[in-house]
């Protein structure tokens, strides 16, 4: 039985909603995340690096090996859908040979970071939020918690995000190459040449900035912030962690894209 007799669950859901709303504030959460980020690199935090080996093995397995299916399936789905739409539309202009350029740029600039990467970061954020709520009880303040908990786990998150980003890009583009003949691409050399010509060094740099730095940082610290809020309010941390990861992830990716590609203010060259 999920709820007591005579209770349809509405009272329980109301309690959870009120507790979550009490600690849910985008601006205050952003401020808390910035504070935690600064504390995690303070001199008092570096001693936690001595325990990084054990932490790395545990989290690398969960974030890497156990995430292969999620990242691989998501990348294959995005690659297949993007190929279908690109080839179908370009065929109407007799320009399907350029579909490789559209697909590669779509995967690298936006579709990869906003779908596969954020999906992985939400998975990480949910785990970190639950752990942060649990481990916070072992420390007398948020500061000592941050100094002991964050650095080795954050470092592992950054490293695994880079590995999974490369893996997802490889799977996504390989899928596009394999399925493109079924959707009407007749000259594979033109398809590959257009992809090669379209990708610039800046595209690769921006891709890994988003997947290796921006998204995992947001996911990790929003997870920690949600966990600390849940510790104080008694709410469930995962819904807040997921929401804040998506919200700030979308905004941050937009800002990076504008900085990199907006012609009026090209900050990244």
- pTM, rounded to two decimals: 0.84
Half-sphere exposure at residue 45, Cβ-oriented, CA atoms within 13 angstroms: 19
Sign of torsion over alpha carbons 178, 183, 187, 192: negative
Residues in the chain: 269
Assign 40 a pLDDT band (cuts: 50, 70, 90): confident
pLDDT in tens, 52-97: 677 788 888 899 889 999 999 999 999 899 888 888 887 777 777 7
- Report d(CA 260, CA 148) in Å as an integer: 36
Instruction: For residue 172, give Cα distances in angstroms to 87, 105, 164, 187.
Output: 16, 12, 12, 20
- The Cα–Cα gap between 256 and 28 comes to 23
C-alpha of 127 from chain center: 13
Q: Return the structure tokens found at 190.
A: 């033109």
12-29 tens-digit pLDDT: 434 444 444 444 577 788
Say what the pLDDT of residue 101 is: 84
pLDDT digits (tens, 9 = 90+) for 201-242: 999 999 999 999 999 999 999 999 999 999 998 889 999 999
- For the chain, give every domain's residue range: 24-262
């Amino acid at each position: 039985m999920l709820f007591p007799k005579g209770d349809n669950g509405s009272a329980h859901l109301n309690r959870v909603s009120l507790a979550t709303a009490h600690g849910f504030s985008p601006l205050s959460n952003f401020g808390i995340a910035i504070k935690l980020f600064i504390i995690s690199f303070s001199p008092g935090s570096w001693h936690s690096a001595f325990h990084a080996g054990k932490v790395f093995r545990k989290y690398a397995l969960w974030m890497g090996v156990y995430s292969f299916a999620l990242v691989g399936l998501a990348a294959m789905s995005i690659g297949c859908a993007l190929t279908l739409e690109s080839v179908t539309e370009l065929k109407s202009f007799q320009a399907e040979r350029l579909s490789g350029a559209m697909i590669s740029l779509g995967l690298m600039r936006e579709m990869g970071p906003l779908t596969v990467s954020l999906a992985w970061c939400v998975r990480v954020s949910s785990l970190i939020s639950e752990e942060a709520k649990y481990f916070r009880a072992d420390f007398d303040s948020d500061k000592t918690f941050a100094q002991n908990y964050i650095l080795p786990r954050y470092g592992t998150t950054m490293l695994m995000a880079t590995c999974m980003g490369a893996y997802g890009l490889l799977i996504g583009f390989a899928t596009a190459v394999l399925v493109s003949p079924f959707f009407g691409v007749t000259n594979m050399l033109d398809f590959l040449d257009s992809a090669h010509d379209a990708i610039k060094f800046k595209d690769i740099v921006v891709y890994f900035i988003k997947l290796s730095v921006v998204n995992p940082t947001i996911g990790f610290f929003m997870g920690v912030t949600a966990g600390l809020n849940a510790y104080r309010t008694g709410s469930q941390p995962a819904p807040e962690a997921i929401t804040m990861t998506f919200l700030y992830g979308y905004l941050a990716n937009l800002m990076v894209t504008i900085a990199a590609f907006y012609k009026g203010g090209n900050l990244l060259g």
